[in-house]
Amino acid sequence: MKEENIKFSIIIPAHNEEKYIGRCLGSIVSAAEFYKDQVEIIVVLNRCTDRTEEIAKSYHCITLKNEDKNLSKIRNAGAKLAQGEILVTIDADTRMSKHLLTSIDNYLSSGLYIGGGVTGSLERMSLGIMASVTALTIPLFLKYGLISVGILWCYRKDFEAINGFDEEILMAEDCDFAKRLSIWGLKNYKAFGTIPFSMTTSTRKFDKHGDWLLIKRPELIWAYLKENDKKHADEIYYDFEN
């Protein structure tokens, strides 16, 4: 694949993701059918001790190893290798819709959007999960404004213009990135876009800790808002095992 042909660089942080990353990569391959030889997948192997690397290589992904307990550094490390015009970040336990890359292409080529996020669904829903998600969403909205995250997308030049993800942040780095991208968009007379109903995400944290997780443990919500609470960041993200 020639570098000049690459349109999309898709970056996936991965810490022991053998249970999930195959489905994520499969969804990307399906979405990439519309862009033959124009999509590269970069998997950032973060302290992996399972089959994540083996699975990533079976999908012909670009891989690199990273030891940081910091999602911003992990995502930025992948972005530094990217050759594509458009950067897309997706978590290993998330699947994109078949038409997501086409939608991203259409949004950006219209000239109306600086980039944006994606909404979608969880693999399952319950009253406890709904209450927990609502309890987190409201304060995040009050702090970061009307943004969407999930899967983030923008031109590489705009990613670089806002210096990527803030490496001082341990949690909610995606919300911070989206807010700064939105502000950058306003300066360039472009909107922050949201592509609806275009992803499916696992409920693994609720599966492990219980559906009422954020209701029973409101200190986790404050940790998201604080952004650099190492204790809770390690528990929820960096030391989390499926």
What CATH number has the domain bearing residue 160? Answer: 3.90.550.10
* pLDDT score of 1: 41
pLDDT > 90 fraction of the chain, expressed in percent and rounded: 98
pLDDT (tens digit per residue) in 79-104: 999 999 999 999 999 999 999 999 99
Confidence of residue 4 (pLDDT cuts 50, 70, 90): low
Please give the single-letter amino acid code of residue 125.
M
Tell me, yes or no, whether 233 lies in a domain. Answer: no
- Decide: 179 and 147 in contact? Cβ < 8 Å: yes
Tell me, yes or no, whether 217 lies in a domain. Answer: no
d(CA 239, CA 6): 34
Tell me, yes or no, whether 218 lies in a domain. Answer: no
Number of folded domains that form the chain: 1
Structure tokens at 223: 């940790």
Continuous segment of H or E residues that includes residue 10: strand 8-14
* pLDDT score of 242: 81
Q: Which residues pair with 95 in a beta bridge?
A: 200
pLDDT (tens digit per residue) in 112-124: 999 999 999 999 9
For range 161-168, the mean pLDDT: 98
* pLDDT score of 87: 98
Tell me, yes or no, whether 141 lies in a domain. Answer: no
pLDDT (tens digit per residue) in 149-160: 999 999 999 999
- Please report, for residues 66, 76, 237, 238, the alpha-carbon distance to residue 198 in angstroms, rounded to integers and kept in the order given: 29, 24, 23, 26
Confidence of residue 203 (pLDDT cuts 50, 70, 90): very high
Domain range spanning residue 152?
A: 3-122+148-203
How many C-beta atoms surround the C-beta of residue 173 within 10 A?
A: 26
Tell me the backbone φ, ψ of residue 5, rounded to 5 degrees. -90, -10
Tell me, yes or no, whether 21 lies in a domain. Answer: yes
For range 129-154, the mean pLDDT: 96
Q: Is the pLDDT score of 147 beyond 60?
A: yes
For range 164-171, the mean pLDDT: 98
pLDDT (tens digit per residue) in 10-54: 999 999 999 999 999 999 999 999 999 999 999 999 999 999 999
Tell me, yes or no, whether 50 lies in a domain. Answer: yes
Q: What is the mean pLDDT of the chain?
A: 96
d(CA 119, CA 140): 15
Alpha helices in the chain (DSSP H): 21-31, 52-58, 71-81, 100-109, 127-144, 156-161, 173-187, 204-209, 213-216, 219-226, 230-233
For range 100-109, the mean pLDDT: 98
d(CA 35, CA 96): 15
Which among 99, 175, 111, 105 is positioned nearest to 142, based on CA atoms?
Answer: 175
Angle ∠(67,68,71) on CA atoms, nearest 5 = 130
- Decide: 178 and 152 in contact? Cβ < 8 Å: yes
Tell me the backbone φ, ψ of residue 152, rounded to 5 degrees. -105, 145
End-to-end CA distance of the chain: 34
Strands ordered across the beta sheet of 94-96: 94-96, 199-201, 121-122
Q: Which residues pair with 27 in a beta bridge?
A: none
pTM above 0.75, yes or no: yes
Q: Is the pLDDT score of 132 beyond 90?
A: yes
Tell me, yes or no, whether 240 lies in a domain. Answer: no
Tell me, yes or no, whether 73 lies in a domain. Answer: yes
